[in-house]
Structure 1
Amino acid sequence: MPIDPSVAIGADLGERSFSWGASDVLLYHLGIGAGQRAGDHLSPAALRYTLDDENLHVLPSFGVVAPTFHETAPPPLDLPGCDIDLAQVVHGSQSVTVHRPIPTSGTATLRKSITDVWDKGKAAVIWDEGTVVSDAGEELWTVRSSIFVRGEGGFGGDRGSSTSVELPGRDPDCEVTYTVTEQQALLYRLCGDRNPLHADPQFARDAGFPAPILHGLCSYGIVLRELTDALLGGDASAVRGFGARFAGVVFLGETIGVRGWRTDEGIVASARIVSDDEQRDGAPVLADCSLTL
């Protein structure tokens, strides 16, 4: 059978040692839109993302991409107990929890395993989790993600839980927009994701899209950065965790509208397309967004 939960759940996905430096942090921040607003080249707050001096800080979402930052080919999808077609896979959700502020440079090891496999009938959801440990033995951050595999459900497994982030029934504490540049995906792909869906127009058309789309993890980073700037004074060290579900696509040149609410537990948010095109206006980008402080 394509998916065997008895083999997959708990399977060790091995470990990956990696290093990063200030240049990687700067490139990542530029890839998610830091420094693009008028006056950012003179703003001390904006330069904390884009200038490699003693004030440089690291947005926690960098931890999601750091282990594969220098990859130039998509990782093989050879998961134990999961014989699946990459063309049927989409990124479902992503979270990162930092146990201390991510340093601007370092060497560490990521160890991952499959934690859950859910049977949604017409699809399967596969969850993995990993912890990044420094060479000194300190736990730095934890990542958890899911992939949605179309056509691979119906194997009689657990349907899993369904939790959603409830947004307050009041005006948001911040409402901001960010316009994706037309070269944004070409820049972001240098952060370790060379999937041609985000760069090659013909590949995108063959995949059913009229044009290349933005990386989901780029949208993820953009939303976290906008919320950090709008509600936390641009202090990346104030963020302990960020999770979201990928709910839709973003085309290059589109505008992402972000709304955020402070709560007793942290910050909750939504992200949708803001457009004059009635068919695209309000289209979801990220759902179930929550920041832990």
Structure 2
Amino acid sequence: MPIDAAEALAAKPRSAEITWDHKDIQLYHLGLGAGANPDLADPATDAGELRYTLESRLHVLPSFATVAGAGMGMMGGLAAPGIDVDLTAVLHGGQSVELHRPIPVKGRATTSSKVAAVYDKGKAAVLVLRSEAADDEGPLWTSDAQIFVRGEGGFGGERGPSGSPEVPEGPCDHTALRPVRPDQALLYRLSGDWNPLHADPEFAGLAGFERPILHGLCTYGMTLKAVVDTVLGGDVTRVRAYRTRFAGIVLPGETLRVGMWESKDRVRVAVTAVERQDAPVLTDTVVELN
């Protein structure tokens, strides 16, 4: 069996040194559609959008943690002993990031990556890949990726947590529409996710898709940006943690509908694809606030 759960869980964490600067931050933000906010008359020069694109005013969207160091945290987990999987069978099931303090525009950190859990879902295995980052001043973030590997279940392991999706009640307090550019996956992948599923039609076909799909983490970042801009007045430091479940794909060229339910300490979110009768894209999505 390509996945040896006992070996994967017993393996020592993998460490790596990562660095980033304003160019990495700007590229990531542009990959999320920064500078193209349809709510603004001239987003390329709007002060709010310049916080994502102009080095002299730059702040860091907390979801940058998922690509810092070209995504070395997740890749370190997939390369762990006991893990040998076919990328065409891999789907990103969920993602969470906990911020211990704001991410600086320029940084150097050590990441520690490990397989935190392996669950047996019958027809699939679920890997929880955990990455923790710290610099000289202390912890920066903890990131968990839940990875579904089709065809690798049935090994008699623990099934893991389960539950029905959290559905917010009543009409949402805010709605934002965010178009996905036709070339957005090609730009986003320059931040480090080189999976050909998002660029190569032949590979996408082998994985069961008609054409390349958008990275789930791109949708994840676009959604957080919509929440920060719409609910938090652009203040990224108010984000304490952010989690989601990937419920469906997004195709380049589609439009995301981001519904937001605001409360004192959190914003609950639901994301759908407008052109496919509001098919669910992100569920169980919560931004926890400072």
TM-score, structure 1 as length reference: 0.91
Q: 1:233: which partner in 2?
A: 233
Q: 2:66: which partner in 1?
A: 64
Q: How does 1:155-234 map to 2 (within 5 A)?
A: 155-163=155-163, 166-234=166-234
SS at match of 2:34: coil
Q: 1:241 to 1:76 in 2, by over 3 A?
A: closer
Equivalent-residue separation in structure 2 for 1:32 and 1:271 (angstroms):
15
* Letter of the structure 2 residue corresponding to residue 47 of structure 1: L
Q: 2:50: which partner in 1?
A: 47
1:24 Cα deviation from its structure 2 partner: 0.7
Q: 1:4 to 1:198 in 2, by over 3 A?
A: closer
What does the per-residue CA deviation read over 1:242-276, in whole Å, with 9 as the maximum and x for residues that have no partner?
A: 1111111111110011101113441111111001x
* Letter of the structure 2 residue corresponding to residue 173 of structure 1: D
1:206 Cα deviation from its structure 2 partner: 3.6
1:163 Cα deviation from its structure 2 partner: 4.2
Runs of 4+ in 1 over 6 A off after TM superposition: none
* Letter of the structure 2 residue corresponding to residue 44 of structure 1: A
1:191 Cα deviation from its structure 2 partner: 0.6
Q: 1:287: which partner in 2?
A: 283
Q: How does 1:252-291 map to 2 (within 5 A)?
A: 252-275=252-275, 280-291=276-287
State whether residues 77 and 130 of structure 2, in contact with CA within 8 Å, keep that contact through their aligned partners in structure 1: no
Equivalent-residue separation in structure 2 for 1:138 and 1:107 (angstroms):
12
Gaps of 5+ in 1: none
Q: 2:104: which partner in 1?
A: 103
Q: 1:194 to 1:82 in 2, by over 3 A?
A: closer
Q: How many residues align?
A: 285
SS at match of 1:61: helix
Equivalent-residue separation in structure 1 for 2:64 and 2:70 (angstroms):
11
* Letter of the structure 2 residue corresponding to residue 15 of structure 1: S
* Letter of the structure 2 residue corresponding to residue 124 of structure 1: A
Equivalent-residue separation in structure 2 for 1:263 and 1:9 (angstroms):
38
Q: 1:88: which partner in 2?
A: 89
State whether residues 10 and 113 of structure 1, in contact with CA within 8 Å, keep that contact through their aligned partners in structure 2: no
Equivalent-residue separation in structure 2 for 1:35 and 1:154 (angstroms):
46
SS at match of 2:55: coil
What does the per-residue CA deviation read over 1:215-254, in whole Å, with 9 as the maximum and x for residues that have no partner?
A: 1111110011111111111111111111111111111110
How much identity, in percent, do the aligned residues show? 48
Q: 2:7: which partner in 1?
A: 7
1:205 Cα deviation from its structure 2 partner: 3.0
State whether residues 14 and 76 of structure 2, in contact with CA within 8 Å, keep that contact through their aligned partners in structure 1: no
What does the per-residue CA deviation read over 1:164-200, in whole Å, with 9 as the maximum and x for residues that have no partner?
A: 5533321111111111011111111111112222122
* Letter of the structure 2 residue corresponding to residue 286 of structure 1: L
Gaps of 5+ in 2: none
Equivalent-residue separation in structure 2 for 1:194 and 1:130 (angstroms):
19
Equivalent-residue separation in structure 2 for 1:263 and 1:166 (angstroms):
15
State whether residues 167 and 269 of structure 1, in contact with CA within 8 Å, keep that contact through their aligned partners in structure 2: no
Equivalent-residue separation in structure 1 for 2:271 and 2:127 (angstroms):
24
1:202 Cα deviation from its structure 2 partner: 3.1
1:126 Cα deviation from its structure 2 partner: 0.9
Q: 1:116: which partner in 2?
A: 117
SS at match of 1:223: helix
Q: 1:86 to 1:34 in 2, by over 3 A?
A: same
1:104 Cα deviation from its structure 2 partner: 0.1
Equivalent-residue separation in structure 1 for 2:71 and 2:223 (angstroms):
20
Deviates more, 1:256-265 or 1:198-207: 198-207
1:92 Cα deviation from its structure 2 partner: 1.2
